[in-house]
A = this chain, B = another copy of it.
Amino acid sequence: MAGSLTLGELAAMVGGEVYGDPATLVRNAWPPQDCDAHSITLVDSVENLPKLEGCAAAAFVAPLGVTEPGRPAIRVANVHAAFVAIVTHFRPRRERSVTGVHPTAVIAPSAVIGRDVSIGAGAVVGEEAVIGDGAMIGANTVVGDDCRVGAGTMLAPRVTLYEGAVVGERCRLHSGVVLGADGFGYRLVDGRHAPVPQLGSVEVGDDVEIGANTTIDRGVYGPTKIGDGTKIDNLVQIGHNCRIGRHNLLASQVGIAGSTSTGDYVVMAGQVGVRDHIHIGKGAIIAAMAGVTNDVPEGEVMLGAPATPVREQKLKIAAIAKLPQLRKEFRELCREVSDLQSRLAERPNNSTLDRAA
């Protein structure tokens, strides 16, 4: 841990303005619930000021809108950038401890390794694989034959790229990611599920992040593709032949079945399921746990299973919530109608009583 600084020194570091005593001593930086009396914390909006109640922090980083901080503070336009700088001062990230190729890594003779590459202990790089300049391959990661890993890309420890997988530049693949396992395709032949050969590959664009233990299967004949700038969370499944657009956000535990495609800037929240062979239009948003069973138009917001445009689905949810009450009222109305029927039947001059059934 780095040494302590005064509030004034921290404010100068982040280009902020001191409120209260600039000599206030700060030793570390934490979220409100983890602070002691020598910590600085962050409040990122005026609405979140109540989070300081009961917080022991000596001071906090405050957005410009906070006019009466109530305790020592640094006011600054970009509170997150400022707090990142302060946290990094107190708890600097360790320089990566492995540079070059670790002696226990196993690199095929025909692999091509770029400049300034770091390959961790026990990592395996296959025949004719190409590792771009500045890439990092984590410990015990396996890069198959004929893979390409772009410049500046980080494969965490314990990642698997099956043969032929292609990853672009500046990507980050987290631990446990599997690219290029066989897709789930079978034909029933004589009572047995015969595997359909999975001859395609996986192609990941530039600036893609893929979360821990996420799996992306190889295509049947061509590539499964992930577009540039797309960010994928942990434990996501993307089936064979999918074509995910650029700048998508796919949250944890999403599952996308085979041959489905998405436009750019699609967002899927956690645990969404998407069926095979459909298209999710550009900018569509799929709410958590929704089950998408049909094409989704551009920009639509979908909710529920089966997924339905949000306005419609909210009406349904509200109607379901009131359904027990509706049933009760329905029984009551039945009684009232029955009562009306009895009353009409009792009338002496009722000439219209006779009806079929």
Distance (Å) between the CB of A89 and the closest chain B CB?
A: 11
Closest CB of chain B to A287's CB: distance in Å? 10
Q: Are A172 and B176 in contact (CB under 8 A)?
A: no
Partner of A288, one of B196, B273, B321, B339: B273
Contact assessment for B181 and A162 in the assembled complex, using a CB-CB cutoff below 8 Å? no
Within the complex, which residue of B94, B175, B319 is in contact with A323, where a contact is CB–CB below 8 Å?
A: B319
Contact in complex: B121, A234 (CB < 8 Å): no
Which of A10-18, A64-72, A213-221 lies at the interface?
A: A213-221
**Given the complex, which residues of B lie within 8 Å of A337, measured CB to CB?**
333, 336-337, 340
A96 to chain B, nearest CB (A): 9
A6: Cβ under 8 A from any B Cβ: no
A8 at the interface (CB under 8 A from B): no
- Are A252 and B158 in contact, CB atoms less than 8 angstroms apart? no
CB neighbours of A196 from chain B (8 A) = 80
Contact B106 A121 (CB under 8 A): yes
Bound Cα distance from A347 to B353, whole angstroms: 11
Chain A 123-157 interface residues, beta-carbon cutoff 8 Å to B: 124, 126-127, 138-140, 142, 144-146, 156-157
Instruction: Say whether A262 faces chain B, with CB atoms less than 8 Å apart.
Output: no
Q: Say whether A176 contacts B157, CB under 8 Å.
A: no
Bound form: Cα–Cα A271–B337 in Å: 46
Tell yes or no: A251 within 8 A of B by CB.
yes
Of all chain B residues, the one with the shortest Cβ separation from A334 is B333
Q: Tell me how far the C-beta of A88 lies from the nearest C-beta in chain B, rounded to whole angstroms.
A: 7
The reply to whether B199 and A91 form a contact with Cβ atoms under 8 Å apart is: yes
A192-B247, A215-B211 known; A241+B158 contact, CB < 8 A: no
Q: A142 — which chain B residues lie within 8 A by C-beta? A: 120, 138-140, 157-158, 175
**Does A169 reach chain B (CB closer than 8 Å)?**
no
CA distance A327 to B327 in the complex (A): 10
Report Cα–Cα, A142/B175, bound state, in Å.
10
With A124-B120, A234-B237 as given contacts, are A221 and B42 in contact (CB-CB < 8 Å)? yes
A343 and B352 contact, Cβ closer than 8 Å, known pairs A122-B122, A252-B239, A326-B327: yes
Provide the residues of chain B in CB contact with A84, threshold 8 Å: 197, 199
Measured between beta carbons, the chain B residues less than 8 angstroms from A158 are 140, 142, 158, 160, 178
CB-CB < 8 A to A175: which residues of B? Answer: 142, 160, 162, 178, 181
C-alpha gap A170/B107 in the complex (Å) = 29
B104 and A106 contacting across the interface, CB-CB below 8 Å: yes
Q: List 8 A-B contacts (CB under 8 A).
A: A120-B142, A160-B176, A174-B182, A184-B251, A271-B273, A316-B323, A330-B330, A346-B352
| Contacts A97-B126, A97-B145 known; 7 new A-B pairs at CB < 8 A | A33-B222, A94-B146, A176-B215, A181-B234, A213-B213, A273-B288, A305-B305
